[in-house]
Amino acid sequence: MAGRTVPLSHEVNRISCVDVLAFQSLLLLGAADKIAEMRLTYAPWMYQVAPFLKTVPKVTGIHIEEMLNRGIDLVFTYNNPDELKKLAEVGIPAIVAQPVPPTWKNETVQEFIASQKEMIRLYARVLGTDTAETRAATWCAYYDAKIKRVTDQTKNIIPNHQKRVFMVRGPDVLSTHGRTGYMTWYGELAGADMIVNRAQNREAKTQISMEEILAFDPEFIFIGRQYSLDVVYQDSRLQNTTAVKKKQVYARPDGLFYWDGGTEAMLSMLFMAKTLYPDRFPDLNLVVELQAYYRTFYHYVLTEDEASKILSGQSPDGSRDNPYNN
């Protein structure tokens, strides 16, 4: 996804998931047994859905000696030229699976959609199995179908009738997802007027000023990454925003991974569409949708209670917390 060509001369059996999004894609594609190490992270339903991940060694970056000792034969990582060079020098193939410029600029929603499908197909090609290829194709078809279902209802919303939305990434209230971030694109697909689009800084992960938030006056605020609603409700500066006055501040769900990145993030589009425009989606049952997704792509039977907890932004024990502040 970075415009590089990486030859693979051997079967891939022991994979390092330095890229934090890699483990969920491998799980989805039926290659969980190939995860030899993974990025240290926290997501509320990670160990509930995939308990074996508890015993997978955790890493915080590239570590050549340990990788060699663990017999790593492929790394999914980030587009860091120095690290890619070090891996090449010791003969460990490295794949950049996240879309990066200039190959992928994600300047339009169509390009974003295409990049997400290409990303899962790339994982499948690297794995080189019929199972991976079939599951990638199934996911892409599902993805297209859900985008069509949502946009059939949202594409004709008059711009000045769109709900104004602000997405808090956390840990602080000014931390958000910029113009090229997953949440911005999925919010737009869900029919939202994402106020970050009017802000000065438009990077994928960014900060917005309090003055900008107040000027744009969000009608809905979503808080991600398991941070408390108090991040908004206890901030005196936000008390006169429409979202706070109408109590339209919501905990964004998170599952196997946070819903702001990777394959499962597309479910945030369904969640926002239903929350913002319930009258347009009377037949959209989020519990049923979530159960079907986990059954199809993780082979995990999600109970109705578990699905309800996820949709309420809770972890399996009913709490909402981010111990890593990430």
Q: CA-to-CA distance for 114 and 104, rounded, in angstroms? A: 10
Q: To the nearest whole number, what is the mean pLDDT of the chain?
A: 95
pLDDT of residue 7: 67
Contacting residues for 102 by C-beta, under 8 A, at least 6 apart: 3
Q: What is the pLDDT of residues 254-274, one digit of tens each?
A: 999 999 999 999 999 999 999
Domain boundaries, the chain: 158-311
Q: pLDDT tier at 326 (50, 70, 90 boundaries)?
A: confident
Q: What is the pLDDT of residues 10-42, one digit of tens each?
A: 789 999 999 999 999 999 999 999 999 999 999
E strands of the chain, at which residues?
Answer: 15-17, 35-39, 58-59, 74-77, 94-96, 163-168, 175-177, 192-194, 205-207, 220-223, 249-251
- Looking at domain 158-311, its CATH class is alpha beta
pLDDT of residue 202: 61
Q: CA-to-CA distance for 310 and 316, rounded, in angstroms? A: 8
pLDDT of residue 1: 44
Contact between 246 and 238 (Cβ < 8 Å): no
Q: CA-to-CA distance for 278 and 276, rounded, in angstroms? A: 6
Q: How far apart are the two ends of the chain, measured CA to CA in Å?
A: 25
pLDDT of residue 281: 98
Q: pLDDT tier at 321 (50, 70, 90 boundaries)?
A: very high
Least confident of 110-124, 136-150, 188-202, 227-241: 188-202
How many CA atoms, within 13 angstroms, populate the side-chain half-sphere of residue 202?
A: 13
Classify 318 as helix, strand or coil.
Answer: coil
